[in-house]
């Protein structure tokens, strides 16, 4: 923004943003106002708009801008203006307190963010309470500031650093009793004012969440009693009920370490147990919102006292009435209620599994049995449901989560015992179809964990299921097919079932609603019973040839081909070539047809279906080939290459299709390994020529596969280096544009995969080339890229590169490698360490730090004295203070970190040191 715009223009833009019916006008106003917010003029203009108080929109824009500037651009203001800014914001919030609650929230956030960054504002909580606590009309905004202040302490937008954060948390803990007393007196003064009570509970919850409240002080505090009274009252409104529930959940979460918070833990424990009657009342009134709130509270209670319950079940605060409360909730007809408790049951299962104590298991087993009983009932479809179960709607997703939970806790009941019990409910009664379907669904969840050896029940289940008549409900047939697929281990141990099972699944395959489930089950059987299925290969081939005559989802069709390929790989070697050719023929013919149509009428149809099918065939046809034998798939792949090459050329501008071509070629090359040598020259030539015009990153990935397969072959190294250099030129041109690293993370990822493969397979070839300097420079620039895969590839490249100067020191080229790495590090070492340290502190998320630690560790192993010097210089370049005048890092913290890293004896010590150090800048 060139110069400061006048207020009238800003006001006009805000009006357009909120009221112009034309979307284009709104878009232009939004872009212009965004530019204003990023400029230095935003500070003064926001202040003036708030003073003018013209209308809600302009004040909201100004308050939001003020908050954003304080969060992201506080460094723009000189320290001597900080006090004036604080006083101005406090004046604005007082003047605008009745205009709109959202404006008050934005200004409260601005004040909180300022207080956190402004080191000179000591004891901000105390000064705010002193200033406003006697004026009842200021109470709402004072409580709003006191609510957002603890929430902002861990805000990601504010990089206040660990030192300042610790100082603030200590300060807030010191004044916490004053805040609670203020809230209590506020409740006393305003009585049953619902809005005020909601504000008070939100504020109290916020202080609980920060973990700074004195639990002894809270245990005897009036507020706790008020909370439970409100939750016990039938007439409490929905909004107030939710605020009180949130506050109790925060309190329970805050005392997770029960042993150090006994008095408060006891109060909360007893308080929650009094809510059972209120829960039943909410159920009777069909008030689902309140029911869900109670279930959240009961679940949080169980989570908090989990350790105690497992350690001393049935005693004191290990009272098992807590589990009873959850099972009462599990009995509610709405499945959303029981779903709230899933995480607790999962954690309980995990705890008991680790302890592995039979007596303990026997105490909790009845509870898990009752839970499973409830879950089976919740999984029932509506009696009037038609067709197959939906898997993608909310209820379908709920059933998938039930399936996962059942798998996690079934060990407590015993898979076999549960499986038998479920089966007996079907065998001994004649339940309605929806009950049968739900029971089969739960059986399918646990089928894999049932021992298939000499198991009469399991065999009987399989026999009965494949005899189900076609007249049963479609959903029952669908789920029974899923169950059969899950029982593939049983089929493998009892091959006599193979024919009836395949016949049953073939019936399903021919019916549109069941086809995809049947295909998935056949895929499972092929994967597990590969050897037994070899005799059925012709049948599988027939299915594969007429794949599109079945109503299959894309995923199911690909799964069937995968199963067929897995069985194909088990055939005798001499049969594989012919059978593979037959299996590929349909897809190859389809691709040829598309190419012919394109050349005759110029219309291009999408070949991805056929490419994906070929890819899955190549990927899973992996026969065992002895050394010296010709790979049986080699001839077929050579025959198919011209069609793939033509398809690639025909669609070279379309990234999606090119990606699928490359994927197909990647699996073809992997399938036959060195047997694809005859394709190397034409494939590389085509890749390079298309990449010059259309730099699709998948060519770089395919290049890395070729280097992996052929990089050790002396005769291929120069050709592969030429390929790398030819691919690098357009890549560097693309990545040198502004913001390009961020905009093209896939290219960064694939480029460094390719470079890493070269380092692994033929380091000297790469290190001796001219391109290596540019690749290292690109890696240094990309080290700050906050993208999981791309960053991981960059770090792996640098780590492996430096490691070549240390590893395999018995090989004859070791001295040469060591010298070449030494030269590279001499030129780039300091710059690399500077960039890595800066990236860790300011750019990269914590999960990337172990990768960075490995790079630093390798550099240190290579040349410790140089590394010590580089690290010291890099640390000198880091800022020592925040814009608000708080100390970011002390001299001692810098020297401690340097010492921890340089004296580390293993890589994980470097990682710990970086984790702790970077917290100072987060």
The pLDDT tens digits for 836-885 are 999 999 999 999 999 999 999 999 999 999 999 999 999 999 999 988 88
Query: Which residue has 């894999």 as its token pair?
Result: 448
Instruction: Supply 307's token pair.
Output: 């350790």
CA–CA dist 130, 864 (Å, integer): 57
Q: How many degrees, rounded to 5, is the angle at CA 529 between CA 528 and CA 532?
A: 170
CA–CA dist 37, 61 (Å, integer): 10
Query: Which own/partner pairs from 630-633 qualify as long-range (CB within 8 Å, at least 24 positions apart)?
Result: 630/675, 631/671, 631/672, 631/673, 631/675, 632/573, 632/574, 632/576, 632/577, 632/580, 633/576, 633/577, 633/580, 633/671, 633/672, 633/675
- Inter-CA distances, 768 with 292, 764, 816, Å: 67, 6, 10
- pLDDT over 70 (residue 176): yes
Instruction: Supply 322's token pair.
Output: 């807590």
CA–CA dist 394, 19 (Å, integer): 37
Mean pLDDT of 144-153: 97
DSSP letter, residue 313: T
- Residues 6+ positions from 157 with CB-CB distance below 8 Å: 71, 72, 113
- pLDDT over 80 (residue 2): no
> How high is the pLDDT of residue 408?
95
- pLDDT over 70 (residue 36): yes
- Residue in 436, 372, 447 with CA at minimum distance from that of residue 402: 372
Burial class (CB in 10 A: 0-12, 13-18, 19+), 565: buried
Residue 135: which pLDDT band, with cuts at 50, 70 and 90?
A: confident
CA–CA dist 430, 424 (Å, integer): 11
Q: Is 75 left (phi over 0), alpha (psi -120 to 50) or beta?
A: alpha
Alpha helix stretches (DSSP H) within 762-842? 763-767, 771-782, 788-803, 814-842
- pLDDT over 90 (residue 919): yes
Convert the pLDDT of each residue in 616-636 to its tens digit.
999 999 998 887 788 899 999
Q: How many degrees, rounded to 5, is the angle at CA 23 between CA 17 and CA 24?
A: 95
Reduced to 3 states, what is the DSSP secondary structure of residue 114?
helix
Burial class (CB in 10 A: 0-12, 13-18, 19+), 513: middle
Instruction: Supply 626's token pair.
Output: 């002895």
Rounded percentage of the chain residues whose pLDDT exceeds 90? 87
CA–CA dist 834, 849 (Å, integer): 15
Instruction: Supply 232's token pair.
Output: 């016990």
Burial class (CB in 10 A: 0-12, 13-18, 19+), 437: buried
Give the least confident one: 76-80, 164-168, 291-295, 674-678: 674-678
CA dihedral 7, 13, 19, 20 (to 10 degrees): 140
- Residue in 422, 426, 421, 417 with CA at minimum distance from that of residue 449: 417
Residue 316: which pLDDT band, with cuts at 50, 70 and 90?
A: very high
Convert the pLDDT of each residue in 727-745 to its tens digit.
999 999 999 998 999 999 9
The answer to whether the CB of 242 falls within 8 A of the CB of 293 is yes
Instruction: Supply 542's token pair.
Output: 């027939």
CA–CA dist 669, 675 (Å, integer): 8
Residue 881 has phi, psi (to 5 degrees) of: -135, 155
- Inter-CA distances, 352 with 209, 306, 359, 362, 402, Å: 28, 11, 11, 11, 19
- Bridge partners of 881, per DSSP, are 887
Alpha helix stretches (DSSP H) within 222-357? 222-232, 238-254, 262-273, 276-284, 288-304, 306-311, 321-330, 335-339, 342-355
The answer to whether the CB of 154 falls within 8 A of the CB of 176 is no
- Residues 6+ positions from 504 with CB-CB distance below 8 Å: 465, 466, 468, 481, 484
CA–CA dist 915, 351 (Å, integer): 28
Q: Which residues of 315-352 are buried (b: 16+ CB within 10 A; e: fewer)?
A: eebbbeebbebbbbbbebeebebbbbbbebbeebbebb
CA–CA dist 773, 725 (Å, integer): 12
Residue 1: which pLDDT band, with cuts at 50, 70 and 90?
A: low
Residue 569: which pLDDT band, with cuts at 50, 70 and 90?
A: very high
Number of H helices, E strands in the chain: 49, 0
* Residue-level length of the chain: 922
Convert the pLDDT of each residue in 477-519 to its tens digit.
999 999 999 999 999 998 999 999 999 999 999 999 999 999 9
Give the least confident one: 200-204, 378-382, 401-405, 594-598: 594-598
CA–CA dist 74, 719 (Å, integer): 54
Instruction: Supply 402's token pair.
Output: 């039930």
- pLDDT over 80 (residue 454): no
Alpha helix stretches (DSSP H) within 379-497? 394-413, 415-428, 433-446, 456-466, 474-486, 488-493
Burial class (CB in 10 A: 0-12, 13-18, 19+), 6: exposed
> DSSP 3-state helix, strand, coil percentages of the chain (rounded to 5)?
80, 0, 20
Residue 603 has phi, psi (to 5 degrees) of: -90, 130
Please provide the average confidence, as pLDDT, over all residues in the chain. Answer: 94
CA–CA dist 26, 31 (Å, integer): 9
The answer to whether the CB of 902 falls within 8 A of the CB of 871 is yes
CA–CA dist 54, 51 (Å, integer): 9
> How high is the pLDDT of residue 141?
96
- pLDDT over 90 (residue 749): yes
Mean pLDDT of 434-460: 91
> How high is the pLDDT of residue 603?
74
- Residue in 728, 712, 722 with CA at minimum distance from that of residue 764: 712
- Residue in 785, 779, 773, 821 with CA at minimum distance from that of residue 798: 779
DSSP letter, residue 887: B
- pLDDT over 80 (residue 429): no
Burial class (CB in 10 A: 0-12, 13-18, 19+), 601: exposed
Mean pLDDT of 912-921: 96
Sign of the Cα pseudo-torsion (108, 112, 117, 118, in order): positive
- Residues 6+ positions from 193 with CB-CB distance below 8 Å: none
> How high is the pLDDT of residue 453?
80
- Residue in 583, 545, 546 with CA at minimum distance from that of residue 567: 583
The answer to whether the CB of 469 falls within 8 A of the CB of 506 is no
- Residues 6+ positions from 202 with CB-CB distance below 8 Å: 147, 243, 246, 247
CA–CA dist 789, 794 (Å, integer): 9
Convert the pLDDT of each residue in 216-244 to its tens digit.
999 999 999 999 999 999 999 999 999 99
- Inter-CA distances, 475 with 362, 521, 551, Å: 36, 16, 17
CA–CA dist 306, 187 (Å, integer): 33
Mean pLDDT of 768-789: 95
Residue 538: which pLDDT band, with cuts at 50, 70 and 90?
A: very high
Instruction: Supply 156's token pair.
Output: 């990601």
């Amino acid at each position: 923004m060139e110069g400061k715009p006048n207020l009238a223009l800003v006001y006009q833009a805000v009006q357009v943003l909120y009221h112009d019916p034309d979307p284009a006008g709104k878009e232009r106003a939004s872009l212009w106002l965004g530019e204003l917010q990023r400029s230095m003029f935003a500070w003064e203009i926001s202040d003036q708009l708030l003073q003018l108080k013209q209308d809600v929109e302009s004040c909201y824009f100004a308050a939001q801008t003020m908050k954003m500037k304080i969060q992201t651009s506080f460094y723009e203001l000189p320290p001597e203006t900080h006090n004036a800014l604080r006083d101005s914001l406090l004046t604005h919030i007082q003047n605008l307190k009745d205009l709109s609650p959202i404006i008050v929230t934005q200004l409260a956030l601005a004040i909180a963010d300022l207080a956190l960054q402004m080191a000179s504002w000591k004891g901000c909580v105390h000064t705010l309470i002193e200033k406003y606590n006697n004026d009842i009309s200021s109470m709402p905004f004072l409580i709003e500031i006191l609510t957002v202040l603890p929430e902002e302490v861990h805000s990601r937008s504010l990089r206040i650093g660990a030192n300042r954060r610790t100082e603030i948390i200590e300060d807030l803990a010191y004044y916490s009793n004053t805040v609670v007393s203020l809230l209590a007196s506020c409740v006393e003064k305003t009585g049953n004012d619902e809005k005020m009570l909601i504000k008070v509970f939100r504020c109290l919850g916020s202080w609980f969440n920060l973990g700074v409240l004195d639990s002894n002080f809270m245990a005897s505090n009036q507020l706790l009693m008020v909370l439970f009274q409100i939750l016990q009252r039938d007439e409490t409104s929905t909004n107030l009920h939710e605020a009180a529930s949130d506050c109790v959940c925060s309190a329970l979460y805050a005392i997770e370490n029960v042993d150090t918070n006994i008095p408060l833990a006891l109060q909360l424990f007893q308080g929650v147990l009094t809510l059972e009657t209120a829960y039943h009342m909410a159920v009777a009134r069909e008030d689902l919102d309140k029911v869900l709130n109670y279930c959240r509270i009961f679940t949080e209670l169980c989570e908090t006292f989990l350790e105690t319950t497992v350690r001393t079940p049935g005693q004191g605060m290990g009272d098992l009435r807590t589990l009873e409360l959850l099972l009462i909730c599990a009995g509610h007809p709405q499945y959303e209620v029981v779903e709230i408790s899933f995480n607790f049951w999962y954690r309980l299962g995990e705890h008991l599994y680790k302890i592995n104590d039979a007596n303990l298991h026997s105490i909790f087993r009845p509870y898990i049995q009752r839970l499973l009983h409830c879950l089976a009932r919740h999984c029932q479809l509506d009696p009037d449901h038609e067709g197959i179960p939906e898997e993608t709607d909310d209820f379908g997703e709920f059933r998938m989560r039930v399936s996962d939970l059942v798998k996690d806790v079934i060990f407590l009941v015993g898979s076999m015992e549960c499986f038998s019990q479920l089966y007996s409910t079907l065998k001994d009664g004649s339940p309605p179809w929806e009950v049968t379907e739900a029971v089969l669904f739960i059986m399918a969840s646990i089928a894999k964990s049932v021992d298939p050896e000499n198991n009469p029940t399991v065999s009987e289940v399989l026999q009965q299921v494949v005899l189900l008549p076609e007249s049963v409900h479609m959903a029952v047939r669908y789920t029974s097919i899923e169950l059969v697929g899950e029982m593939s281990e049983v089929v493998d141990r009892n091959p006599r079932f193979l024919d009836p099972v395949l016949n049953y699944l073939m019936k399903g395959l021919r019916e549109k609603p069941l086809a995809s489930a049947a295909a998935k089950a056949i895929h499972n059987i092929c994967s597990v019973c590969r050897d037994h299925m070899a005799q059925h290969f012709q049948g599988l081939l027939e299915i594969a040839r007429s794949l599109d005559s079945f109503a299959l989802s894309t995923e199911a069709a690909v799964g069937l081909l995968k199963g067929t390929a897995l069985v194909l790989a088990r055939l005798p070697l001499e049969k594989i070539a012919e059978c593979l050719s037959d299996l590929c023929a349909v897809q190859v013919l389809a691709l040829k047809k598309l190419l012919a149509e394109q050349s005759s009428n110029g219309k291009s149809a999408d070949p991805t279906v056929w490419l994906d099918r070929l890819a899955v065939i190549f990927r899973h046809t992996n026969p065992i080939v002895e050394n010296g034998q010709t790979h049986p798939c080699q001839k077929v792949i050579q025959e198919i290459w011209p069609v793939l090459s033509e398809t690639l050329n025909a669609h070279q501008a379309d990234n999606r299709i090119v990606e699928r071509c490359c994927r197909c070629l990647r699996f073809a090359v992997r399938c036959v390994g060195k047997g694809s040598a005859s394709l190397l020259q034409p494939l590389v030539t085509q890749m390079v020529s298309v990449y010059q015009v259309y730099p699709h990153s998948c060519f770089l990935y395919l290049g890395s596969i070729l280097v992996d397969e052929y990089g050790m072959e002396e005769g291929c190294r120069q050709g592969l280096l030429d390929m790398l250099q030819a691919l690098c030129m357009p890549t560097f041109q693309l990545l040198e544009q502004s913001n390009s690293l961020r905009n093209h993370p896939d290219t960064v990822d694939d480029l460094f995969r390719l470079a890493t493969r070269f380092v692994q397979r033929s380091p000297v070839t790469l290190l001796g080339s001219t391109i290596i300097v540019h690749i290292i420079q690109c890696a240094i620039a990309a080290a700050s890229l906050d993208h999981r895969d791309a960053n991981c590839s960059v770090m792996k490249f640098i780590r492996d590169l430096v490691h070549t100067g240390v590893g395999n020191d018995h090989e004859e080229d070791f001295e040469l490698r060591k010298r070449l790495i030494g030269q590279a590090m001499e030129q780039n070492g300091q710059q690399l360490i500077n960039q890595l340290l800066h990236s860790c502190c300011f750019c990269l998320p914590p999960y990337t730090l172990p990768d960075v630690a490995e790079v630093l560790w390798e550099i240190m192993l290579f040349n410790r004295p140089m590394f010590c010097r580089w690290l010291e210089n890099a640390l000198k370049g880091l800022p020592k203070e925040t814009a608000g005048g708080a100390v970011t890092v002390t001299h001692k913290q810098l020297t401690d970190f340097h010492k921890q890293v340089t004296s580390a004896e293993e890589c994980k010590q470097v990682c710990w040191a970086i984790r702790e150090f970077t917290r100072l800048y987060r």
